[in-house]
Chain A
Amino acid sequence: MGSPGSRRAVSVERPFRLRFQLVARCLSCGFARRLGLGCLILVLTAPAPGSADEIVDDSDAPVLPVGEVTVTATRAERDVLDVPAHVTVIDREQIERSAARTVPDLLRRQSGLYLTSTTTNPAGLQVEARGFANGAGNGSSLLVQVNGRRVNEADSSVTDWALIELDEVETIEIVRGPASALYGDNAIGGVIDIRTRPAEGPPRVTVRSRIGRYDSRQASLNAAATVGAVTGSLFVDGVTTNGYRHGADFDSQNVNGSLQTQLWDRVFFGVSGGYYQDDRGFPGALLQADLDTLGRRAEAPDSAGTGSSMKNRFVDGWLDAMLAEDVLLRIRPYYRWRDDAATNVFEFGAGTNTDVRDKSSLGVDAHLQVDRPLFGRRNRLLAGFDFLRDETGRTDLFGGVFDSVQVSEDEKNVYAAFLQEELDLTDRLILSAGVRFDRAEYDLAVVDTLMPADRAVADPRYSIWSPKAALTWRVLPTASAYFSYSRGFRLPNFDENVPTLTGGPPVIPDLEPQISDSFELGGRWRNQRVDASLALYWMNVHDEIILNPLLNCFPGFGCFGQNDNFDRVRHRGIELGLSVQVVERLIAYANYTFEDVVITKADEPGLDGARMPITPRNRGNLGLVARLPYDLELTTHAIFVDERIVANDFDRLAAKLDPYATLDILLAWRPRFGEHLESALTLALRNVTASGYDGLAVRSISDPTRVGFYPAAKRTWEVGIMLSLRR
């Protein structure tokens, strides 16, 4: 029997007309002109909706509908009710309806996380969890991953959030508390796992543009399509702003792309790569006298000209192979390298510094995941190894009290193996246990004109075991409770092990890794309308790494400070989260965090019992999302932060920073034009009440009477437009 109806050639006119329309639209958005080439390449190479690439059957003949056939399967992802930790998953829909502009802005609304900011531009943001926001310039105790790639910097271990554009993010998974049994270094306060928008699915193109106060402009383009067996995505983005403060200029360009394919339905592999560059200004800290005379938007007079230029690139690969129906092999190699050229004018007149550095991270994560019942019960085994090599080359030229040149070449290799088991003991009781071993080997070399020629930095070697054990009780199908013990650790980073000179003779610290033992009790209730969570934790941190302002003191010169291990620091807290769909069109949510971080044992007299700086005891937020008639949506979001101790102020000589509250409002109009075109017009008002709070304040080490403030932006507005075309 022949095919009924005649076949015809697929018209190419419509797809090409559509492509040229997209090119014109892309180029017409003002800021995107500089990205025009990227837009052009993207749109002309990506198949337009309705192109012949997707439609194999081009018959014009009438067809008889059989009716839809559906196959359902259970998700392989872990139900959040089964996870013995305080976790949150933020999806794209929540991102869209938030008034957040950056990833840290979104994270600061979550319980257990705290944001400090120093620049009023997308650089200079640091997010920490569970009370680890305690240092001024110390490394990070929060591991951040993007598509499984560690993005904590090789030299300082902090995350440069400017590199992660919110428009590119699909989901953010937050795990609070130590997770080094699975993730290793830096996963001591928590883990942020970010997934970018997937290439899979129907072909789509999304274009966004925003303009806002302080000459802020941004444009991004996100597209994905499948051509034959290959799926690809492209993200192009540019941001420019004058910040809020003078000297906070910021200008960035970003291009990321990925290609992936699948073989025999059992092997999935792909590569992605990206290039990012920016110029960023650091307006510095203002003294109270500066605030009184120059105002809070001023650039710090004694650090004018501080800023940097940087270039960052990455290449990722991934391979998932189903070795058997219940055995998955997953391999994730990645490499990223970055060049920075910074001019630092030290605050409080301590001197100047030109810092040129190149750094790279090479990592491989390989593990097996076995989902095979044990004793007839659900069971999941995870076993694998990690390798990470961080390298940094720095040349620092110092001028000021002591002129010097410091050149360093640092390398760190970390080898790790881990094993984790999750077993259903009964229908309602889940046992999770795991252990990881990390071996870290440093190779540090520093040459300094102020140091004796034969003086070398010792190459540390660390071996760390990180165990974990937890029980989860599924009280109800919609509720669970858990109790867990877990260990986390953070290795000293290059910046801490080879301290930058602060005008005095160099002191090479002999740092130990920071290790925590944490006990946690929590629960969660989650159904279609309510998502409520509670976590209580008690964490004993051994050798917490911090810049100790009471060390490295010289008669007549005062103290210069030195990175140090505090013997024991106790972190404890309560985290509450609640989201309720009050009625069909109204969602209310609230979060609250209590954190108490106290030094319980330290070598220096007077520090025992002292509260750690920066982290506030109380903070929380409250929000409403209302879907209004005519496709309108209104989001209001209020944040409250309690008083904070100034950084470095262990002996409490300075006044605390005042509590503050902010209110953000987002009004969005989201009309749909048919099945394939979505759009949004947004107006975001941030800090509506013009609260004049500080993102951070730091007490000078050399002169304890001086406190530098980093004012945050007052009221800002932003107008945005989004168009999304999906086949």
Chain B
Amino acid sequence: MKRTSSLGLGLAVAVGLAVAVAPASADEVAAVETEEVRFVDAVPRRPSATERLGEIRRRIQAALVYPPLARRQGVEGVTLVRFEIGHDGTAREVRLFRTSGRPTLDRAATRAVAAAAPLPWVYGRLEVPVRFELEGRRGMTVR
């Protein structure tokens, strides 16, 4: 796993400070694991990183709209979007990481992420899969 030295140093300092200043409880030091890296959030106050990620998910969800024409055409798919959060709570560097194969769904996903502000700050690059799904069994085309 490649990591820049600055990132590693930053994480180490943050963890060290957290341990030294206030003994961390389970709520105060939240950890989120991916397949290859363990992120440690050492901000000693609520909400925890897990809670903030949940809030980010809820805000994106609220900003998300199924494109009406895609719905008409029975189009579904999953778009993978990556972004960062600035200190002002806006999503930055919003990038499409994996297309759904339908540009309209991709645009709706990136637009929802960009419009979800204000977002609670979380350090690092975030990834959100956005699934567009139509309810019910396949029906008949109108004409």
Q: Which residues of A contact B (CB under 8 A)?
A: 1, 3-6, 54-57, 59-80, 82-83, 87, 89, 91, 148, 171, 173, 175, 182-183, 193, 195, 200-203, 226, 228-229, 231, 261-262, 265-268, 320, 322, 325, 328, 330, 367, 369, 380, 382, 526
Determine whether the beta carbon of B97 is less than 8 Å from that of A56. Answer: yes
Determine whether the beta carbon of B130 is less than 8 Å from that of A65. Answer: no
Determine whether the beta carbon of A67 is less than 8 Å from that of B57. Answer: yes
B residues 115-139 in Cβ contact with A at 8 Å: 122, 124-139
Answer whether residue B64 sits at the interface, using C-beta atoms and an 8 A cutoff: yes
Given the interface pairs A60-B2, A75-B139, A79-B139, the reply to whether A66 lies near B86 with Cβ below 8 Å is: no
Given the interface pairs A320-B73, A322-B68, the reply to whether A226 lies near B102 with Cβ below 8 Å is: yes
| A54 to B124 Cα, complex, angstroms | 23
Determine whether the beta carbon of A73 is less than 8 Å from that of B66. Answer: yes
A-B contact pairs, 7 of them (CB 8 A): A59-B82, A67-B53, A195-B141, A201-B77, A231-B103, A262-B104, A268-B104
Complex contacts, B125 vs chain A, CB 8 Å: 3-5, 59, 61-64
Determine whether the beta carbon of A69 is less than 8 Å from that of B71. Answer: no
A5-B4, A78-B140, A328-B72 given; 9 more Cβ-contact pairs under 8 Å:
A62-B37, A64-B124, A64-B125, A69-B61, A72-B134, A82-B139, A265-B104, A265-B108, A320-B72
Q: Which of A59, A175, A200, A526 has the most CB of B within 10 A?
A: A200
Given the interface pairs A73-B66, A73-B71, the reply to whether A66 lies near B139 with Cβ below 8 Å is: no
Given the interface pairs A57-B82, A64-B124, the reply to whether A3 lies near B53 with Cβ below 8 Å is: no
Q: Please classify the interface of chain B as helix (H, G, I), strand (E, B), loop, or mixed, using the class held by over half of its residues.
A: mixed
- CB-contact partner of B102 in A74, A77, A173, A231, under 8 A: A231
Determine whether the beta carbon of B72 is less than 8 Å from that of A64. Answer: no
Proximity string of chain B (1-44) to chain A, C-beta cutoff 8 Å, 1 when within and 0 when not: 11110010000000000000000000000001010110100000
Given the interface pairs A64-B34, A71-B66, A72-B134, the reply to whether A77 lies near B141 with Cβ below 8 Å is: yes
Given the interface pairs A59-B82, A71-B130, A76-B74, the reply to whether A89 lies near B138 with Cβ below 8 Å is: yes
Determine whether the beta carbon of A66 is less than 8 Å from that of B133. Answer: no
Complex contacts, B112 vs chain A, CB 8 Å: 69
Answer whether residue B47 sits at the interface, using C-beta atoms and an 8 A cutoff: no
Determine whether the beta carbon of A77 is less than 8 Å from that of B86. Answer: no
Determine whether the beta carbon of A76 is less than 8 Å from that of B71. Answer: yes
Determine whether the beta carbon of A1 is less than 8 Å from that of B86. Answer: yes
Given the interface pairs A75-B134, A77-B140, A231-B102, the reply to whether A62 lies near B69 with Cβ below 8 Å is: no
Q: Interface extent on B, as a size class?
A: 35 or more
CB distance from B65 to the nearest CB of A (A): 7
Determine whether the beta carbon of B53 is less than 8 Å from that of A71. Answer: no
Determine whether the beta carbon of A66 is less than 8 Å from that of B103. Answer: no
CB distance from B36 to the nearest CB of A (A): 7
Complex contacts, B102 vs chain A, CB 8 Å: 200-201, 226, 231, 262
Tell me the nearest residue of chain A to B50, going by C-beta.
Answer: A67
Determine whether the beta carbon of B69 is less than 8 Å from that of A268. Answer: yes
CB distance from B53 to the nearest CB of A (A): 6
| A64 to B120 Cα, complex, angstroms | 14
Determine whether the beta carbon of A322 is less than 8 Å from that of B69. Answer: yes
Determine whether the beta carbon of B140 is less than 8 Å from that of A6. Answer: no
| A401 to B90 Cα, complex, angstroms | 88
Tell me the nearest residue of chain B to A328, going by C-beta.
Answer: B72
Q: Which of A65, A203, A228, A367 has the most CB of B within 10 A?
A: A65
| A623 to B128 Cα, complex, angstroms | 44
CB distance from B45 to the nearest CB of A (A): 19
| A64 to B64 Cα, complex, angstroms | 20
Tell me the nearest residue of chain B to A66, going by C-beta.
Answer: B128
- CB-contact partner of B101 in A67, A70, A73, A231, under 8 A: A231
| A1 to B91 Cα, complex, angstroms | 12
Complex contacts, B74 vs chain A, CB 8 Å: 75-77
- CB-contact partner of A1 in B54, B84, B100, under 8 A: B84
Complex contacts, B98 vs chain A, CB 8 Å: 54-55
Determine whether the beta carbon of B130 is less than 8 Å from that of A54. Answer: no
Proximity string of chain B (78-107) to chain A, C-beta cutoff 8 Å, 1 when within and 0 when not: 000010101100001101111111111001
| A71 to B112 Cα, complex, angstroms | 11
Tell me the nearest residue of chain B to A330, going by C-beta.
Answer: B143
Determine whether the beta carbon of A69 is less than 8 Å from that of B99. Answer: no
Tell me the nearest residue of chain A to B108, going by C-beta.
Answer: A265
Complex contacts, A330 vs chain B, CB 8 Å: 143
Determine whether the beta carbon of B103 is less than 8 Å from that of A229. Answer: yes
Tell me the nearest residue of chain A to B66, going by C-beta.
Answer: A73
Determine whether the beta carbon of B126 is less than 8 Å from that of A266. Answer: no
Determine whether the beta carbon of A64 is less than 8 Å from that of B103. Answer: no
Complex contacts, B139 vs chain A, CB 8 Å: 75, 77-80, 82, 89
| A72 to B134 Cα, complex, angstroms | 5
CB distance from A395 to the nearest CB of B (A): 38
Tell me the nearest residue of chain A to B33, going by C-beta.
Answer: A65
Given the interface pairs A76-B74, A325-B68, the reply to whether A66 lies near B53 with Cβ below 8 Å is: yes
Determine whether the beta carbon of B4 is less than 8 Å from that of A75. Answer: no
